[in-house]
Structure 1
Amino acid sequence: MQTLIDLAGARVFAIPADDGLGETRAREGMLIEGPQGWGEFSPADSADPAELARWLTAATEPGTVGWPDAVRGRVPVAVTVPAVPAEQARRLAAGSGCRTADVLVGPGDAADIARVEAVRDALGPAGRVRCRAGAPWAVDTAAAVIAELARAAGELEFVTQPCASLAETAALRRAVDVPIGVEASRHQVGGRPDPALAQAADVVVLDCGPLGGVRRALRVGEMAGLPSAVTSTAVSTVGLAAAVALAAALPDSGYACGTGERALLAGDLVSESRSLTPTDGFLPVAPMPPGPRADLLERFAVTDPRRIARWRHRLEIARSAG
């Protein structure tokens, strides 16, 4: 057990992911060990120094101050359905065991509509379907696309991040009947939710990494004053466990927790019995993330000196900006 946060010994990893279209890429990040356990640092390439600092706070939270107490012992999970052909989307949704699907859509073309229809068919009329825009739409385009997606789904739980700005999103919200979700991490002012969020969203979407951990994400949700849904852009079970902890700590959330691309990855850093794989659409809540297995850390270790140096540089930026 470490007595201090071991930034110098942080391990860089890469886990292959299949996007469902025959293309294999790697999801990368770092594991950081603290006095009480491990955390994951895996910000997006586009993260600025402030966001890198928040990711570092999130990565060190479970190994230091820990997570807030849970109010439920398990949480429902939403399966992520990427931009794949309809039949593959159907198989992903049907095979997940989940009752909710988070479907990625692009321009709102025929392929998007067919994907949503296939997911609805797989989940049945009692299942919940939500959509996530792969890129922002103009207000008029968004209104037209959402109407078609809602028709294909029968009913949409909500649509996440349909427009670029809160002003556009607010205008869209007034024009459609489908609830709108907005990612809190994209719209903050001084570490607090943008006041305009209340007029633009029906649901605030919380992601522990870019918000600075479970405790900070919980506070952001409270300050937003809107129903909260949880998602995650972490990679391994070590990082995704934070999303489950956040969903379990929310006082009242009727929304399934989105665990990102976990099901699309070719491996994990923890033992199979500890990996976050839903059972009957639910995940159990743990007081802290499981630790990595040494052989899996070696298996998925990044060995390219340039990539290792890049991640260590990002970690140093995060430490300096914090």
Structure 2
Amino acid sequence: MLPPLADVLADAHVVALPLTTRFRGLDVREAVVLRGPEGWTEFSPFVEYDDEESAAWLAAAIDFGWRTAAPARRDEVRVNATLPAVRPEDVPGVLARFPGCRTVKVKVAERGQGLADDVARVAAARAHLGPEGRVRVDANGAWNVDEAERAIHALSPFDLEYVEQPCGSVDELAEIRQRTKYLGIPIAADESVRKASDPLRVARAEAADVLLLKAQPLGGIRRSLALAAEAGLPVVVSSALDTSIGISMGAHLAAALPELEYDCGLGTAALLAADVTEQPLLPVDGAIPVRRVEVAPELLERHATDPERERWWLDRLERCWQVLDDRV
């Protein structure tokens, strides 16, 4: 059962948070933070997503704010650093925001850049971490199979932990996994899980070795746990450039998983130049705690969007609530 729309909107705040470094083409991250009976929660689908896709993000917000969290198996979660498509000389400064992180996820295949840029950035990350660190790369599905094969070969000397979403489709992932299997570099799936009508297809097709789970796009903690159990593959819990509230949702998901082999992509509050809480979920000694976040009213006010953007977001939330209500 959905809570009444009036209850969802009763304590809703639309914020715009600046980023420290341009990421996913964004300089500012907008979000709606809501307060339910269980605490603060978040609705922040990217602006280009339609209402049908965005409704899953609202389902996740309701799941976290209106329902008791799944039992936790751990009280902290180890996280990776996230390295945007910056110049090699900027790598140490970015990674300094992630103290104690032993793993870094490097963005590659950035529009307007080439493979040489990716190699230089990954080389800088490996040099910064040293031989004991873990380096994973994320192409966000930007390569075709031939491009992915060339890139994986070029990046393989840097001892990659895995390559995330090298190609866009499940069939392409299956092919590139077979082409590069002899290199021993696992293939991870993100968009092929969270943006798919059938998120388990990638596992059934043996197109990936690792699954990325993001609580908001997948409809919440409970649905994500069910997907992980059915897929039967190792998982990495990641964020969608959330505020610390959304990061808290991801941390509760990670804490509830029976096994957690990989460091999680939940350190991205370090990419925000501002947050909605005085105690953001930033990495300390390479981990974040599993806890609810309390917002600071003065920060909500300071980072509130203008009235036009507020109306845009609240109208969008209402439409997504209607999508969910029509499914009941």
TM-score by length of 2: 0.89
Partner of 2:271: 264
The code of the aligned residue for 1:283 comes to I
Could you say which residue in structure 1 is the equivalent of 2:106?
103
| Pairs aligned (count) | 311
Q: Distance in 1 between matches of 2:178 and 2:290?
A: 37
Q: Residues 157-172 of structure 1: matches in 2 within 5 Å?
A: 157-172=161-176
Report if aligned partners of 2:56, 2:217 keep a CA contact under 8 Å in 1: yes
Q: Once the 2 structures are TM-superposed, how far is the Cα of residue 202 of structure 1 from its aligned partner?
A: 0.3
2:150 matches 1:144: yes
CA displacement at 1:242 relative to structure 2: 1.0
- Summarize the alignment of residues 207-226 of structure 1 with structure 2, pairs less than 5 Å apart: 207-226=214-233
| C-alpha deviation, 1:62, in angstroms | 2.3
The aligned runs of 1:128-277 (5 Å cut-off) are: 128-151=134-157, 153=158, 155-176=159-180, 177=183, 178-183=185-190, 184-189=193-198, 193-194=200-201, 197-259=204-266, 261-271=268-278, 274-277=279-282
Task: Provide the residue aligned with 1:278 in structure 2.
Answer: 283
Cα offset, 1:48, TM superposition: 2.5
Runs of 4+ in 1 over 6 A off after TM superposition: none
Tell me, in whole angstroms, the C-alpha distance in 2 between the residues paired with 1:249 and 1:311. 31
Contact conserved, 1:158 with 1:179, CA < 8 A, in 2?
A: yes
Write the distance in 2 (CA, Å) between the matches of 1:57 and 1:105. Answer: 31
User: What is the alpha-carbon root mean square deviation over aligned residues?
Assistant: 2.1
- In structure 1, the residue matched to 2:95 is 93
CA deviations 1:198-253 (Å, max 9, x no partner) are 41000010000100111111111111111111111042111111111111111112
Q: 1:20-39 alignment to 2 at 5 Å?
A: 25-39=27-41
Ranges in structure 2 where 5+ consecutive residues have no aligned partner: none
C-alpha displacement of 1:108: 4.9
Which segments of 5 or more consecutive residues in structure 1 lack a partner in the other structure?
none
In the TM superposition, what is the alpha-carbon distance from 1:59 to its structure 2 partner? 1.0
Checking the alignment, whether the CA contact within 8 Å between 1:58 and 1:208 is kept in structure 2 is yes
Distance 1:27 1:135, change over 3 A: same
1:65-92, Cα deviation, whole Å (9 max, x unpaired)? 1221111121111011000011211332
1:260 CA displacement = 5.9
Which one is further off, 85-94 or 66-75? 85-94
Taking structure 1 as the reference length, the TM-score comes to 0.91
Contact 2:18 2:272 survives alignment (8 Å): yes
**CA 1:27–1:251 in 2, change beyond 3 Å: closer, same or farther?**
same
Alignment partner of 1:116 is 2:122? yes
* Alpha-carbon distance in 2 for matches of 1:123, 1:259: 19
Q: Residue type matched to 1:233 in 2? A: A
Q: In 2, distance between residues paired with 1:135 and 1:309? A: 33
| Identical residues among aligned pairs (%) | 41
Tell me what 2:133 maps to: 127
